[in-house]
Amino acid sequence: MIKNQVSRLGRRSYAHRMNVAGRTGYSSAQLARLNRELDSLYELIYADWNTVTEEDYAAFGPQLVILIQTLRQLHSECRKLSDRSLRSEIDRLGMNYSALYELNSDIVNYRVNAPHDNELQSMMAKASQMLNK
């Protein structure tokens, strides 16, 4: 489910980016809809991020990274627009980009890489022992 939504939003955000870059009429309503969908994606991934496995991430992670890069580029292009009616949605897009970037980083660092980091595992075990005393 996550993979499908990430893929769909990746295509949609790329199309938005092309519209903005081509200066072919971009409305606040279009950006607001994209932001609502990004909010939903964030909530979906956040609800499950603590149970994401390496295999799960392999299924949707590469597409999520592309989506995040596209959102960064879209945000940059939108900031160049002089349309004041877009300002609040552009700011919201920046927040969505940041939230998804951080969530992706957390998944990579704590769910994918951490199980393979012996030093981190050792420190976590020691911390757990100290808390249980």
Chain segment 24-83, per-residue pLDDT in tens: 777 889 999 999 999 999 999 999 888 889 999 999 999 999 999 999 999 999 998 878
Chain segment 93-132, per-residue pLDDT in tens: 999 999 999 999 999 988 888 767 677 777 777 888 888 8
Supply the DSSP string of 75-120, one letter for each residue: HHHHHT---GGGHHHHHHHHHHHHHHHHHHHHIIIIIIIGGG-HHH
- Compute the distance between CA of residue 98 and CA of residue 101 in angstroms, rounded to an integer: 5
Domain boundaries, the chain: 2-132
Which two tokens mark 5? Answer: 């939504």
Q: CB of 82 within 8 A of CB of 28?
A: no
